[in-house]
């Protein structure tokens, strides 16, 4: 604390005689700005040669990387690679403000493919030509995703005026526009203009997620701005329908039932995508996703508001198989839940390790890098072998006959033969006579091939 004497006087009413009783300058205290050590320091990561050989150090370095993603307090990172070289990682850039976001999206885009493509059909263009990106960033922190590392954890939103302007731009420029906007969204459908309500907390926080394991008390969850945006989009002359195709973060949505009501009444074309990803805690805890109780609450509200709107609408849940932390038992329980809900998934996602994702570190090290890494850190079960990964994918598609033989074999090996049968409590039907004959034929063919090889001189 620095004390100094300044002859500074502020205006006061001359009629107040107390002013003149003691008119001498008084000492005031001035506190210098608090130091921000992260602006002048960097973090020395374990050398490349060490993380290449030591999985604990690899997991430790990865955790540091993910904790240094807040531009308000992130420090630079340095990793030595040899005696003369190293990798320097600058802190993340500050997020764009609304005016800067608008300036990017208000540029004179042509909204059609480059002329070099001619009349060639481009599936990716057809998918996004009438969709609108309303924001950047994501504070969800799902471990299998690296959007935070690419776009930031702080949500960067466009103004309503800029978005409405783009809708009108689509009307004018997109050939064959039918009056339907296919999506108003971004990395997540319902994070538009949501963020931390504490400026101090936002600049100093190092949490990997604002919503896991529970929603942070500083996070604003009022969807008013999103609802207002949806209504403004619907009011544009010539617009018949505005759909929401981006995934809805349902743990946020249940904090504001009015949003779910608006969504169900006006913006669902029969099906709504959401991503519970799994049903079992072992898997969900390594994904950093909420439990199924949250999904059940969202479904209850969605079904209620759909019924009130006089619509029959359905949720399309997305799941991941073979994610780090997932056991065979976890996948069987998920398959039973799917069957109980009468879900028959078509396209499914088998986990693969992608760059910069936390789950990739868990996959490689088999350690829980979502917590401080020590030599007694939690060991994580990781489905890596091809046969186990294939089994997990088949279990997501329990209804596909192609996977039944492998599922039956696994159930028998695990002592779960009671799940084989034709009843509603069973997961897969018993082997048919045709299947038995095909198995016998395949075995005989393999035996003949071995005999033929053995007879060769």
Give the count of beta carbons closer than 10 Å to the beta carbon of residue 67.
15
Q: Is 318 left (phi over 0), alpha (psi -120 to 50) or beta?
A: beta
Measure the CA–CA gap between 31 and 61, rounded to whole angstroms: 37
Measure the CA–CA gap between 442 and 269, rounded to whole angstroms: 47
What percent of the chain has a predicted confidence (pLDDT) above 90?
82
Give me the phi and psi of 420, to 5 degrees please. Answer: -100, 120
Q: What is the pLDDT of residue 24?
A: 62
Both ends of the chain: CA-CA distance in Å?
A: 94
Closest by CA to 181, choosing from 308, 266, 273, is 266
Q: What is the pLDDT of residue 348?
A: 87
Judged against a pLDDT cut of 60, whether residue 9 lies above it is answered with no
Closest by CA to 281, choosing from 317, 249, 316, 325, is 325
Fold (topology level) of 95-265: Transcription Regulator spoIIAA (3.30.750)
Q: Which residue reads 């996703």 in tokens?
A: 289
Query: Is the CB of residue 279 less than 8 Å from the CB of residue 334?
Result: yes
Closest by CA to 361, choosing from 206, 179, 149, 175, is 149
Measure the CA–CA gap between 226 and 189, rounded to whole angstroms: 9
**Mean pLDDT across the chain, nearest whole number?**
91
Measure the CA–CA gap between 325 and 347, rounded to whole angstroms: 22
Distances (CA, A) of 309 to 135, 180, 240, 326: 28, 20, 17, 39
Tokens, residue 249: 């973060």
Q: Please list the helix, strand and coil fractions of the chain in percent, rounded to the nearest 5, in that order.
A: 40, 15, 45
Judged against a pLDDT cut of 50, whether residue 5 lies above it is answered with no
Judged against a pLDDT cut of 90, whether residue 25 lies above it is answered with no
Q: What is the pLDDT of residue 443?
A: 72
Q: What is the pLDDT of residue 29?
A: 67
Give me the phi and psi of 317, to 5 degrees please. Answer: -85, 145
Measure the CA–CA gap between 178 and 130, rounded to whole angstroms: 10
Q: What is the pLDDT of residue 1?
A: 39
Q: What is the pLDDT of residue 6?
A: 36
More confident residue, 303 or 10: 303
Give me the phi and psi of 18, to 5 degrees please. Answer: -65, -25
Tokens, residue 330: 């976890």
Give me the phi and psi of 278, to 5 degrees please. Answer: -165, 170
From the centroid of its chain, how far is CA 282?
A: 18
Query: Is the CB of residue 326 less than 8 Å from the CB of residue 278?
Result: yes
Measure the CA–CA gap between 297 and 250, rounded to whole angstroms: 9
Closest by CA to 4, choosing from 25, 27, 24, is 27
Q: What is the pLDDT of residue 171?
A: 97
Q: What is the pLDDT of residue 39?
A: 73
Measure the CA–CA gap between 327 and 389, rounded to whole angstroms: 10
- What's the average model confidence in pLDDT over 146-161? 96
What is the residue extent of each domain of the chain? 95-265
pLDDT digits (tens, 9 = 90+) for 82-91: 889 999 999 9
Within 8 A by CB and 6+ apart from 153, the residues are 69, 70, 137, 138, 139, 141, 210
Measure the CA–CA gap between 400 and 422, rounded to whole angstroms: 15
Judged against a pLDDT cut of 90, whether residue 346 lies above it is answered with no
Q: What is the pLDDT of residue 4?
A: 36
* 429, HSE (Cβ side, Cα atoms, 13 Å): 9
Is the backbone peptide bond immediately before 213 cis, with ω within 30 degrees of 0?
yes
What percent of the chain has a predicted confidence (pLDDT) above 70?
91
Our CA dihedral for 162, 163, 165, 166, rounded to 10 degrees, sits at: 120
Judged against a pLDDT cut of 50, whether residue 12 lies above it is answered with no
Q: What is the pTM of this model?
A: 0.86
Distances (CA, A) of 196 to 92, 94, 219, 259: 18, 15, 5, 19
More confident residue, 10 or 365: 365
Q: Is 239 left (phi over 0), alpha (psi -120 to 50) or beta?
A: beta
pLDDT digits (tens, 9 = 90+) for 202-227: 999 999 999 999 999 999 999 999 99
127-133-137 Cα angle (round to 5): 120
């Amino acid at each position: 604390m620095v004390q100094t004497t300044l002859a500074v006087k502020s205006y006061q009413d001359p009629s107040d005689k107390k002013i003149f009783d003691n008119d001498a300058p008084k000492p005031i205290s001035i506190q210098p700005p608090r130091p921000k050590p992260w602006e002048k320091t960097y973090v020395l990561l374990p050398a490349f040669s060490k993380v290449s050989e030591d999985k604990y150090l690899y997991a430790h370095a990865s955790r540091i990387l993910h904790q240094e993603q807040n531009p308000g307090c992130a420090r630079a990172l340095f990793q030595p690679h040899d005696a003369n070289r190293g990798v320097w990682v600058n802190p993340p850039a500050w997020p764009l403000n609304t005016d800067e976001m608008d300036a990017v999206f208000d540029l004179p885009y042509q909204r059609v493919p480059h002329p070099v493509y001619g009349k060639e059909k481009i599936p990716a263009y057809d998918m996004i030509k009438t969709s609108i990106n309303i924001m950047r960033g994501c504070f969800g922190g799902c471990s299998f995703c690296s959007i935070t590392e690419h776009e930031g954890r702080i949500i960067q939103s466009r103004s309503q005026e800029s978005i409405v302007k783009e809708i009108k731009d689509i009307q004018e420029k997109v050939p064959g526009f039918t009056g339907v906007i296919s999506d108003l969204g971004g990395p997540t459908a319902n994070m538009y203009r949501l963020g931390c309500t504490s400026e101090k907390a936002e600049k100093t926080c190092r949490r990997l997620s604002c919503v896991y394991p529970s929603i942070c008390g500083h996070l604003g969850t009022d969807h008013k701005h999103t609802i207002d945006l949806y209504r403004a989009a619907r009011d544009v002359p010539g617009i018949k329908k505005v759909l929401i195709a981006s995934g809805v973060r349902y743990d946020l949505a249940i904090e504001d039932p009015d949003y779910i009501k608006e969504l169900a009444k006006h913006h669902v074309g029969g099906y709504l995508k959401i991503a519970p990803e799994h049903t079992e805690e072992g898997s969900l805890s390594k994904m950093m996703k909420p439990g199924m109780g949250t999904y059940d609450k969202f479904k209850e509200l969605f079904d209620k508001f759909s019924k009130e709107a006089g619509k029959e609408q359905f949720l399309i849940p997305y799941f991941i198989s073979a994610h780090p932390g997932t056991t065979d038992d976890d996948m069987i329980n998920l398959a039973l839940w799917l069957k109980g809900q009468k879900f028959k998934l078509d396209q499914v996602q088998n986990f693969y390790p992608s760059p910069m994702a936390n789950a990739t570190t868990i996959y490689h090290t088999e350690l829980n890098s979502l917590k401080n890494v020590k030599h007694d850190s939690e060991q994580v079960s990781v489905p890596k072998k091809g046969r186990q990964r294939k089994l997990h994918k088949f279990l997501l598609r329990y209804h596909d006959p192609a996977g039944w033989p492998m599922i039956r074999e696994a159930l028998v090996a695990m002592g779960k033969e009671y799940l084989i049968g034709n009843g509603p409590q069973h997961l897969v039907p018993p082997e048919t006579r045709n299947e038995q004959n095909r198995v016998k034929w395949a075995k005989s063919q393999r035996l003949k091939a071995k005999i033929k090889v053995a007879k060769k001189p």
